[in-house]
Amino acid sequence: MTNSRRKGKRGEYIVRDRLIRWGFSCRRGILAAGEPDNVHNLPGNRHVETKNNEHLSIWAMLRQAERDATARGESPIVFFKKNDTKLYAALDADDLLELLRLQATFEEFKEINGVRPE
- pTM of the predicted structure, to 2 decimals: 0.78
Is the pLDDT assigned to residue 87 strictly greater than 60?
Answer: yes
CATH for 36: 3.40.1350.10
pLDDT in tens, 22-79: 888 876 765 544 555 566 667 778 888 888 888 888 999 999 999 988 888 889 999 9
pLDDT in tens, 96-112: 999 899 988 988 888 88
For residue 3, what pLDDT is reported? Answer: 78
Average pLDDT over residues 73-95: 91
> What is the total count of domains within the chain?
1
In a domain, 99, yes or no: no
Residue from 90, 1, 102, 94 nearest 49 by CA? 90
CB atoms within 10 A of CB 34: 7
Residue from 32, 26, 36 nearest 71 by CA? 36
Give the residue numbers spanning the domain of 77.
3-92
